[in-house]
Structure 1
Amino acid sequence: MEPEQEQEQEAPAPPSTSPTSTPPLLLPPPPPPSSTSYTLFLTIMSKRRTWVFMFVLVYATLLASSWNSLKSILSWYKHQAQPSSPSSGWPALYASVLLGAVFGLLSMVAALAVAVPATLVTWITIVVLLAFFGKPRRTLVVEGRKITREIASFVFKILLKEGNLVAAVCAVLGYFALVRNNSGE
């Protein structure tokens, strides 16, 4: 064989352009091992029940860590609210307000564990939409800072409202439970 014929035979044939032929199937290389764990992590974190579990876990952790303060409030109340004392309503009021404050703070911190990812997704969505509408980069940075301030203040206001609501409900329920417990003894 001549050298020219060898080169022609070894050269790959160009892909056919006929409508009946199938294009060559190109598969991506398998992902590295760290990438599969990352995708597994992303899959798990995208589930709603994961976030509910995290909310309950954070709330339970905070409640367990503040258990000593709750026990000290209740022991102070038991020490102050003796059946022989005429002003048994005031210690119950003080203790219920403290219990309400503790539960209100706990609910705010637990809600913050859920609000931060939701806020981050909202912020990213808004900034990406602004970028798609053709905002220049400098304007995008300024708008992003404004949006960050507005979202953070909005989330803070909502957390305060919900925390105060939980505190008020827990204080009222705690007061009636403490007064009923004291009158039953």
Structure 2
Amino acid sequence: MADLEDHPNSTWASLLQKAVRKRRTWVTLFVLVYALLLSSTWNLINSILSWYSSTSTSSSSPWPALYASLLFGLVFGLLSMATALAIAVPATVVTWITVLVLLAFAGKPRRSLVLEGRNITADITGFAIKILLKEGNLVAAVCAILSFLALVYRRREEVF
């Protein structure tokens, strides 16, 4: 059997393993993904605004403003949930590990610790998802209302 050190890709694999172990790598990946998310969100907001501008000049009904404001609320609600998720996941993992370690120090047997660990995982995950959805919906509703008022006010200024 051939030695893995003789393989030409082994140096790349070891470099990749070293890079993945570094915290800077994960922070950089997080920043890049979040920058991509913000960039696509900005493009989506601009396209919604340009669609609204093109339809509001040809119609005097409030429906385009309502549609645009609902889309703005949706975009900002999803963005706030993505941000909260990025913050909540590490905090949830730390809480989960802390509870399991405390149960282990309390003298729980391994089998019951595994069973309680599954229950704790389900409880923490369900609780975090409920909070995430509640907060995201709240942000979406507030953004939809504020954007509707801003779009209607903007159109009234253009008319006069």
Instruction: Give the counterpart of 2:148 among 165, 175, 184.
Output: 175
The gaps in structure 2 that reach 5 residues or longer are 1-17
2 CA distance for matches of 1:62 and 1:168?
A: 21
CA distance in 1, matches of 2:76, 2:60: 29
CA RMSD of aligned residues (A): 2.3
Give the letter aligned to residue 94 of structure 1. Answer: Y
Deviations 1:66-117 (A, max 9, x none): 22211111111111112x6331x11101100000000000010111111000
Instruction: Tell me the equivalent position of 2:78.
Output: 105
Equivalent residue letter for 1:75? S
Question: How far apart, CA to CA, are the structure 1 residues paired with 2:59 and 2:112?
Answer: 68
State the distance in 2 between where 1:65 and 1:73 align: 12
Aligned to 1:162: 135
Normalized against structure 1, the TM-score is what?
0.66
Structure 2 residue aligned with 1:69: 44
Runs of at least 5 residues in structure 1 that lack an aligned partner in the other structure? 1-33, 43-49
Report the equivalent of 1:140.
113
Q: Distance in 1 between matches of 2:78 and 2:36?
A: 13
| Partner Cα separation in structure 1 for residue 70 and residue 48 of structure 2 | 10
Q: Find the partner of 1:150 among 84, 101, 123.
A: 123
Q: Distance in 2 between matches of 1:108 and 1:85?
A: 34
Amino acid at match of 1:116: V
Runs of 4+ in 1 over 3 A off after TM superposition: none
1:128 partner amino acid: V
Which has the larger share of helix? 2
Deviations 1:113-167 (A, max 9, x none): 1100000000001001111111110100010001001100100000001100110
- Pick one of 59, 64, 67 that aligns with 1:85: 59
CA distance in 1, matches of 2:65, 2:124: 39
1:140 is paired with a residue whose SS is helix
Q: Which has the larger radius of gyration?
A: 1
Matched residue count: 135
Residue in 2 that maps onto 1:26? none
1:184 matched to 2:154: no
User: What TM-score do the two structures reach when normalised by structure 2?
Assistant: 0.76
